[in-house]
A and B are shown apart, each in its own frame.
Chain A
């Protein structure tokens, strides 16, 4: 029996039309714009000024606070400016603008392709390198990886889960790295296994990626044959169901443990990391190479040149799109991320971040919302909700501002996966109103539990 999560879920057409496209390295643009808000938590503080010369891999932003991360220059060149620039939603964020010159790496980084499989003994050494090299979670939330790998002392992980589900339609960047960089990913997993002190690592991949499952399994067995550090790592085939890659859903699918409402994975002894994060951990620890580039899927039925491209962090989206043939005539929406949870791009001049996974183009026909009609109480939203909530009810409560009832009915558990709105035959914008209500209710819960000053 292939594993999957126990409640809800939907089966959108997976549309992995760029799956066959090997990763290409996109030429570096003339100018890059590196955002200081690459991660969840406090934005980094820029430590360079206009006129400074920077090398590839040099620190240009330092963390501000516990949940924050280092930012490195992704190129060699001269800092042109440090100032506000619009991100993809159009919100001004501090960026470092760098005029690009030919690559010259910081001396500490190992830029060769040699695979380093020996796992350092000292967990602290591993965590320090992960932190110093600016690794953040690349599955969507961009939570600083070093923080996630160091749970509070009263909580202990017993399993590390590597998320290779890539359950969003269209996205293939994780798929490609699992095929092309499978060994590096497995080494990354072994490194995190050492840090967490767990004996079990499960790499979960959905059944629609047989080639990735084969490559990853082969990488695991060949590495395990060479060293005991790789014992206990296992590849598991998951059923294809969205949102399998949701952290709570993936833990449920693999361990049958359910993270409690408002709880964290560590509460049930699990830590989840994306396969792309594992690759970044490999580079950071084994190669002392900062996270300065990532693989991005550029796709869409209306986009003629399907691609998976390796780009430097800070590359303008418009540069990537233009290099691959420009915006298709009939594209109605550009999305950063997948069609279920991605963000619509409001500003194509925005630059890529560490966590950017794709640029997806949808046509008017594919993405237009139809007019809302009466709820017919079919229960499809209830059936689809992976958190076991009742979206139709939350929507009604939200529209009437009934925050107490919203909390009782668990609006704070919503993971914003979009299954409810996706399945609603009456086209009721369920998630739109639920998302707003959830923000409000979580704010109320926090203000209630916060220590009185």
Chain B
């Protein structure tokens, strides 16, 4: 006679686990990883490997020896943070920059609050912003990386946003800047623009986005409201003065807007729970990003925008509750 279990209902589970969700995010990140390795070559491999290794190792050591509990690296969230952090770094960054980024992302931002689910700010973005402020030279230089395909020249130099910001500061018009630096939308879509490893190919990120939607890992509201806001905001200014304000498509395809909108603004832990809240959150990110780009001193503002909006999530959650059944 076999012994039967007795426990309360429900007796079955959807089989979706934290690990399976994180694995889906890793898979969705693969196209961007592959593109960055192809275009930035061994430099990108070093950045990716050091970021991932330090993130995962750090979480393991902290859970085992500081928190004295079972390791949580099996949920793969540290792996996701590692990959996203790497995609936010210039491919030429040395390994120790990635390590410092990992310490800030995992050690400070995530684990001091109690690990996965407890942190207020997105770990990878906090890591990136810390590095941007601490090592501005390293974080804004893209030179010398030799890709496996395409010439090294094509992917060296500053980012389009940086070039534009500097050109405008020198009193040039956008047309003059574009004429000097021939970047086309085709390049931005398929890679080949200067930028962090993850922001060079819009297509790769969009493939990841579609995968996440198809697997029902995320819902589209946050991402789309970020993109629509950036497009509308920049569209208005561009229509007013096309010589001073970059156009909507340029803003969507550059400076990590897509990477941020798809992979970082949608982080469960640091984004609102409801769709309505998600839209407010996304609109906020879009507006702050464009304010920084047009009027701030940094060429791009996506990371700052997400961090600022992260801090509003508890408030948004409080005011955007789902309507309860049978309560008018």
Contacts and interface: CB of A to CB of B under 8 A. Distances in A.
Interface of A: 7, 10, 12, 169, 248, 252, 258-261, 263, 327, 329, 331-335, 339-346, 348, 362, 366-367, 369-370, 373-380, 382, 385-390, 410, 413, 416, 418, 421-423, 425-427, 431-432, 435
Interface in B87-122: 114-118
Interface string B57-93: 0000000000000001001010000000000000000
20 contacts: A248-B326, A261-B324, A327-B4, A329-B2, A333-B5, A339-B10, A339-B11, A340-B9, A340-B11, A344-B9, A373-B18, A377-B117, A378-B21, A378-B273, A387-B325, A413-B325, A418-B9, A423-B14, A427-B13, A431-B10
B11 A333 contact: yes
Interface string B13-51: 110111011000000000000000000000000000000
Nearest to B17: A425
A340 B327 contact: no
B81 to A, nearest CB: 13
A366 B5 CA distance: 12
Secondary structure call for the A interface:
loop
Contacts of B176: none
Nearest to A387: B325
A248 B325 contact: yes
B215 interface: no
Interface residues of B, number: 37
Given A344-B5, A362-B11, A423-B16, A261 B115 contact: no
Contacts of B169: none
Contacts of A362: 11-12
Interface of B: 1-2, 4-14, 16-18, 20-21, 72, 75, 77, 114-118, 268-269, 273-274, 321-327
Contacts of B116: 373-374, 376
B270 to A, nearest CB: 8
A333 B117 CA distance: 32
Residue picked from B10, B20, B115, B274, most chain A C-beta under 10 Å: B10
B8 to A, nearest CB: 6
A135 B238 CA distance: 73
B234 to A, nearest CB: 30
Contacts of A342: 9, 11
Contacts of A422: 10, 12-14
A387 to B, nearest CB: 4
A362 B114 CA distance: 36
A388 B21 CA distance: 24
Contacts of B1: 327
Contact of A390 (B2, B11, B321, B327): B321
Contact of A334 (B4, B77, B326): B4
Contact of A258 (B17, B77, B325): B325
A166 to B, nearest CB: 16
